[in-house]
Chain A
Amino acid sequence: MRLRTLYAVPALLCLWGFVLGPSPVAPTAAMAANATPDLLADDDYDNGDDQDGVGVADPLEPWNRAVFVFNDKLYIWVLNPVKNVYAEALPRDVRGCIGNFVSNLASPVVLVNALLQGRFDDAWTVVSRFGINTVLGVYGFGDPAASEFAMLPPSADFGQTLGRYRMGAGIYLYWPLFGPSNVRDTIGRVGDYAANPLNYVGLNSDERLGYSGTAFVNRMSVEPDVYADTKKYSLDPYVAIRQAYSDYRNARISRGGGSEGNE
C-alpha cells in the first residue's frame, strides 16, 4: 500500500511541473553537469536594469517573515541550547559517527536520486560507499570509504532531481523548524522522507520521530552554524537567507551533485 502511494508521487509531480512552469535554470545549463557557470553572461549593473523581476517569488512574505521570527526564537531558546547540551555530552568523534550512520542509512535515497538524474558515476560511488562503510565501517558508523578510499559522499535529493527535470521552484516557503524551502523542494523533502528505508523496518512513530530528532540535532552539532553567521553579517537576514537559498539550490541543480552529507 505504502509502495503504491510512492509510485503515485512521480505522477503527481509531473502534474505539479505543469502547474509551476519551467525552471528558472536555463535548460542547457541544467544539463551541463560540473561545468563552471558563466558569471559574466549579463551585467545588470552596466545595463542599469536592476528590476525586481530577478528576485525570488515570495507572495507569502508576511507569513514567511512571521515564521522566520518564530524559528529565530525557537533557535535561540530551544534548538541552540539543546544542541549545546548535546555537543557537551557527546565528544565530536561520537557525533561524527552518528552523522555517518545516519547518512549511510539514507544512501538508498541518494542512490535513487542520482540514478534519476543520470549521474551514474555518483550512483556507483553511493553503492560502493554503502558496501564499504556498512562492512568495514561497522554498520556505517565509520567512513573508511572517504578516509581510506578517497570516495566522498555524493549528495542528491529529490528537489534537485525535480529541478533537473526542469520543474520550477514555485513560491518561496519558510517552514517552521525546517526553514527555507520552496514548493519544489518541499515536495522533494517529503518524497525523500517517504523513500527512506527507515520507514519500512518496523519502527513505531515515536521511534521514527526520535531518530529524526537525533539526526537533526546531531547534524546541527557537526555542521558550521550558517544561520548564526548569516544573522551576524546581514542587514536583513530574512532576505539574505531567501536569496542565498534560492541561488544555492539553483547552482546545485545546474551543477549536479557536489559532495556533502545528506539525511
Chain B
Amino acid sequence: MKVRTVVLFFLLSVFLCPVGHAVESPMAQLKPTLKSLTDLLSDERLKGDAHRAERRSKIMEAINVGFDFEEMSKRILGRTWQEISAEERELFTRQMIKLLENIYVGKLESYSGQQIDFLEERVKGKRAQVSTTIDNQGAKIPVHYVLNLTDSKWMVYDINIEGVSLVGNYREQFKSILRTDKFAGLMKVIEEKNRSFEKGKGSL
C-alpha cells in the first residue's frame, strides 16, 4: 500500500511538472543576478572615472548571466527580423548588443543603494514575469522583469518600469525610423548613437 502511494506520487510528479522539476523558479534565478549587480554598483572600490573600464566589464559579466540581449534585439526589431539577410542579422545584433549595453549600464548608474523588494512571479508556458518594487525615497516604483526560458534557464528580455516597457519603447522608435529610412537608415542611426556613447563622458 505504502509503496503504491510512493510510486503514484512519483509518477504524478513526473507527469505534472515536466519542466518545473529541473528548473529553478524565475524569481530564484533573477535574485542573484540583481544582487550581484547592486553589489557591484555600490562597491566603493569601483567608483569614479578611473575604474570606468573595470566597472563596466564586471557589470556586463554580471548582466550576461541573467539578461538575454539577443532576444531583446530580435523583439525590438519585430517583423523586420524575418526580412533581413543572415549577415544583416549578425551586424544588427552586434550593434544592438552594444547599444543595449550602453543604455543599460548608463541607466544602472543612477542606482544608489535603493532597496529592491520581490513581490510575485507569474509563469505562463515558456515565459515568466517577476514583479518587484524599487524604493525611491519612500515611494515604491514598480519594476517588472519579463523572462524567457532558454536551455532550462530563465533569461530577462524586457523590463517594465511604471508601465513603460523597454523593448516596447524601442520597438516603437525603430518602427518609426524603419518607415522612413528602411533598415539601412536604422543601422546608421544605431551606429551613430553608439559612437556618441564612446565619445560621451557620462556613459560610464
Name the A residues within 8 Å of B102 (CB-CB). 233
The stretch among B17-25, B46-54, B167-175 that forms the contact with chain A is: B167-175
Whether A243 touches B169, Cβ cut-off 8 Å, given contacts A40-B128, A233-B106, A235-B189, is yes
The stretch among A87-95, A126-134, A168-176, A251-259 that forms the contact with chain B is: A251-259
- Determine chain B's interface SS by DSSP, over half rule: mixed
Q: Total number of A-B contacts with CB less than 8 angstroms? A: 101
A247 to B165, CA, bound (A): 8
A50 to B124, CA, bound (A): 21
The number of chain B residues touching the other chain, given as a range, is: 35 or more
A48 to B190, CA, bound (A): 24
Is B85 interfacial (CB 8 A cutoff)? Answer: no
The stretch among A31-39, A76-84, A185-193 that forms the contact with chain B is: A31-39
Is A52 interfacial (CB 8 A cutoff)? Answer: yes
Is B12 interfacial (CB 8 A cutoff)? Answer: no
Is B93 interfacial (CB 8 A cutoff)? Answer: no
Name the B residues within 8 Å of A224 (CB-CB). 110
Task: Indicate if the CB atoms of B160 and A39 lie closer than 8 Å.
Answer: yes
Q: Contact string, B138-167, partner A, CB cutoff 8 A, digits 1/0?
A: 111010101000000000001010111100
Task: Indicate if the CB atoms of B75 and A40 lie closer than 8 Å.
Answer: no
With beta carbons under 8 angstroms apart, the residue of B140, B163, B168, B177 that contacts A235 is B177
Is B7 interfacial (CB 8 A cutoff)? Answer: no
Interface centre among A52, A146, A224, A235 (most CB of B within 10 A): A235
Task: Indicate if the CB atoms of B189 and A233 lie closer than 8 Å.
Answer: no
Name the A residues within 8 Å of B160 (CB-CB). 37, 39
Q: Contact string, A204-247, partner B, CB cutoff 8 A, digits 1/0?
A: 00000000000000000000100000001111100110111001
Closest to A245 in B: B164
With beta carbons under 8 angstroms apart, the residue of A50, A236, A255, A260 that contacts B142 is A255
Is B119 interfacial (CB 8 A cutoff)? Answer: yes
Is A152 interfacial (CB 8 A cutoff)? Answer: yes
24 contacts between A and B (CB under 8 A): A36-B144, A37-B144, A37-B163, A39-B129, A39-B144, A39-B165, A40-B124, A40-B129, A50-B175, A232-B200, A233-B103, A233-B107, A235-B186, A239-B176, A243-B164, A243-B168, A243-B169, A243-B172, A244-B164, A247-B165, A247-B168, A251-B164, A255-B163, A259-B138
Contacts A39-B160, A239-B173 aside, 13 further interface pairs with beta carbons under 8 A come to A36-B120, A39-B146, A40-B127, A224-B110, A235-B174, A235-B193, A236-B177, A239-B176, A240-B170, A242-B172, A244-B164, A247-B165, A258-B162
**What residues make up the interface of A, taking CB atoms closer than 8 Å to B?**
36-40, 43, 45, 48, 50, 52, 55, 146, 150, 152, 224, 232-236, 239-240, 242-244, 247-248, 250-252, 255, 258-260
